[in-house]
């Protein structure tokens, strides 16, 4: 727990080391300000000869107070001590190495310059509590953290990247536990089944597939490594998932934490949602946290969840004027923002864009009728469609299509029509665009296709940049 985060610990301060660092700060002040009231009082009581450090540990302020073989006084030495063996040398203090007549030595010494106390652990030679704490911590714990190969991550980059991930603190701690507990607690070569929990479980695979990152994970699983080692590699790489606007490490850690939480629910006999909805929740949780950490964020003004027991139907169309064809997309979502059903259709012959929008409405109403929806809120970004369905009149080419829409409309228990802006209708727009590209008709029940996951997550993300 008291190991630095860069060495695989939690970064808590060791009280004893910190207390010694604070006490050392007081000693430094006494050395730097010998004429202060506190220094004079303590000098009169405890070190009347003025040799503060020699009162306990040894050292001094000029050559007569520095012991050659015991004190730390050589700046270029790794331990600040003389590296030459003493042998039969009788000299014991630095002043004995200096000619008292001409003040010469093996190297020039400035005449009359007094030795000073410097702090070796800072480049500027000045004391700081931070450097003193880390120096004391290394003295106390450095030898104890040497671990056999395979017992945990030795690469500090893993931990550096891990603690910088844009995920909540509880998920960082979850990831820390996965990596630290990846090895057996009895022997350094064994491993607990973290790999199965996060990567190989059928439910975990389904979640990663719904997010469109299973191929990336499966490539890492080809090597025979423990789950914690795979997690380390993901964090070390720092790869970004451009489609979702998230890092792979953030996504996998958040997903791992959520899978662990669902595993706990299952063990208590509680029901869990389908994998695709779990994937949507994982993305929205990670994105909300990432956006909340930015200095300038605002609440998203876009798609809004329907009231309880209602479904929202979003429809949109696309029209190709050059080829006289088009496409439409429709999606039904519940009060949690999860997809209930979706469809996209390619229309080979159309007169104009208003006809394409009418077709989109018809396809959406037929989809809602197909799943047995009773309470429905229909939303479109085309104001003409909204006005006509609210009692307006039309005599254009789309009039017969609207007549069919009225018939389907009357079969719902409660139904209303609303207008929304293009930004809030991105999922339906993406479905229509895909149908225009593939020229295929598709229907999805409860399990959304991967190409709309990022737009679905954006709609349930409450924050925006």
Contact assessment for residue 330 and residue 304, using Cβ atoms and an 8 Å cutoff: no
- For residue 61, pLDDT over 60 is answered with no
Terminal Cα distance for the chain, rounded: 36
Nearest Cα to 275, choosing from 288, 262, 289?
A: 262
Mean model confidence pLDDT for the chain: 80
In the prediction, which pLDDT does 44 show?
Answer: 83
* Tens digits of residue pLDDT in 113-142: 456 677 767 777 787 888 888 777 777 776
In the prediction, which pLDDT does 411 show?
Answer: 92
Confidence grade of residue 186 (pLDDT, cut at 50, 70, 90):
very low
Percent of the chain scored above 90 by pLDDT? Answer: 26
* Tens digits of residue pLDDT in 370-400: 999 999 999 999 999 999 998 887 778 888 9
Please give the structure tokens belonging to residue 389: 């369905």
Confidence grade of residue 104 (pLDDT, cut at 50, 70, 90):
low
Q: Residues 403-427: what's their mean pLDDT?
A: 92
Contact assessment for residue 203 and residue 177, using Cβ atoms and an 8 Å cutoff: no
Confidence grade of residue 172 (pLDDT, cut at 50, 70, 90):
confident
- For residue 465, pLDDT over 90 is answered with no
Domains and CATH numbers, the chain: 5-142 (no CATH), 156-292 (no CATH), 311-464 (3.30.420.10)
Q: Would you report the helix, strand and coil content of the chain in percent, each value rounded to 5?
A: 45, 10, 40
- CA pair distance 404, 362, nearest whole angstrom: 7
* Tens digits of residue pLDDT in 190-215: 444 678 888 888 888 889 988 889 99
- For residue 415, pLDDT over 80 is answered with yes
Confidence grade of residue 59 (pLDDT, cut at 50, 70, 90):
very low
In the prediction, which pLDDT does 43 show?
Answer: 81
Please give the structure tokens belonging to residue 298: 């605002």
Greater confidence, 189 or 127? 127
* Tens digits of residue pLDDT in 242-290: 888 889 999 999 999 998 888 888 877 788 888 888 888 898 888 888 8
Contact assessment for residue 77 and residue 85, using Cβ atoms and an 8 Å cutoff: no
* Tens digits of residue pLDDT in 325-341: 999 999 999 988 889 99
Q: Residues 182-193: what's their mean pLDDT?
A: 43
CA–chain centroid gap for 339, Å, is 26
Range with the lowest mean pLDDT among 86-100, 328-342, 353-367? 86-100
In the prediction, which pLDDT does 463 show?
Answer: 60
- CA pair distance 463, 465, nearest whole angstrom: 7
Burial bucket for residue 442 (CB in 10 Å: 0-12, 13-18, 19+): middle
In the prediction, which pLDDT does 436 show?
Answer: 94
* Tens digits of residue pLDDT in 4-53: 777 777 777 788 888 888 888 888 888 888 888 888 888 888 878 777 76
- CA pair distance 262, 267, nearest whole angstrom: 9
In the prediction, which pLDDT does 38 show?
Answer: 86
Alpha helices in 268-352 (DSSP H): 275-292
Confidence grade of residue 74 (pLDDT, cut at 50, 70, 90):
low
């Amino acid at each position: 727990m008291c190991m630095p985060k860069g060495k695989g610990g939690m970064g808590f301060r060791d009280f004893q080391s910190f207390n010694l660092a604070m006490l050392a700060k007081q000693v430094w002040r006494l050395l730097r300000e010998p004429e202060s009231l506190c220094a004079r009082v303590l000098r009169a009581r405890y070190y009347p000869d003025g040799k503060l450090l020699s009162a306990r540990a040894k050292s001094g302020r000029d050559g007569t107070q520095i012991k050659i073989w015991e004190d730390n006084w050589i700046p270029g030495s790794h331990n600040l001590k003389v590296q030459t063996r003493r042998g039969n040398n009788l000299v014991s203090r630095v002043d004995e190495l200096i000619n008292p007549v001409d003040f010469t030595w093996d190297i020039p010494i400035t005449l009359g310059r007094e030795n000073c106390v410097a702090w070796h652990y800072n480049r500027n030679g000045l004391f700081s509590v931070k450097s003193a704490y880390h120096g004391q911590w290394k003295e106390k714990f450095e030898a104890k953290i040497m671990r056999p190969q395979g017992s945990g991550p030795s690469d500090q980059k893993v931990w550096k990247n891990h603690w910088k991930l844009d995920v909540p603190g509880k998920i960082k701690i979850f990831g820390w536990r996965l990596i630290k507990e990846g090895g057996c607690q009895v022997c350094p070569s064994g491993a607990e089944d973290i790999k199965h929990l996060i990567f190989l479980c059928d439910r975990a695979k389904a979640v990663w597939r719904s997010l469109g990152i299973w191929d990336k994970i499966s490539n890492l699983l080809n090597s025979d490594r423990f789950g914690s080692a795979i997690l380390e590699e993901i964090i070390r790489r720092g790869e970004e998932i451009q489609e979702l606007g998230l890092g792979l490490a953030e996504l996998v850690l958040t997903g791992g934490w959520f899978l662990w939480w669902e595993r706990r629910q299952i063990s208590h006999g509680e029901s869990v949602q389908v994998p695709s909805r779990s994937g949507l929740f994982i993305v929205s949780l990670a994105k909300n946290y990432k956006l909340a950490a930015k200095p300038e964020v605002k609440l998203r003004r876009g798609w809004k969840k329907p009231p309880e027991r209602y479904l929202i139907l979003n429809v949109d169309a696309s029209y190709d004027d050059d080829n006289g064809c088009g496409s439409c997309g429709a999606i039904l979502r519940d009060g949690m923002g999860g997809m209930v059903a979706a469809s996209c259709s390619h229309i080979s012959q159309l007169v104009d864009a208003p006809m394409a929008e009418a077709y989109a409405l018809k396809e959406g109403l037929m989809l809602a009728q197909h799943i047995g929806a009773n309470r429905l809120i229909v939303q479109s970004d085309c104001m003409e469609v909204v006005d006509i369905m609210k009692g307006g009149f039309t005599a254009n080419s789309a009039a017969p299509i609207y007549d069919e829409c009225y018939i389907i409309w009357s079969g719902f228990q409660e139904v209303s029509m609303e207008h929304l802006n293009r930004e809030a209708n991105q999922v339906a727009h993406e479905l229509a665009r895909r149908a225009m590209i593939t020229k295929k008709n598709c229907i999805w029940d409860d399990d959304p296709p991967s190409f709309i996951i990022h737009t679905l997550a954006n709609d349930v993300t409450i924050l925006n940049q």
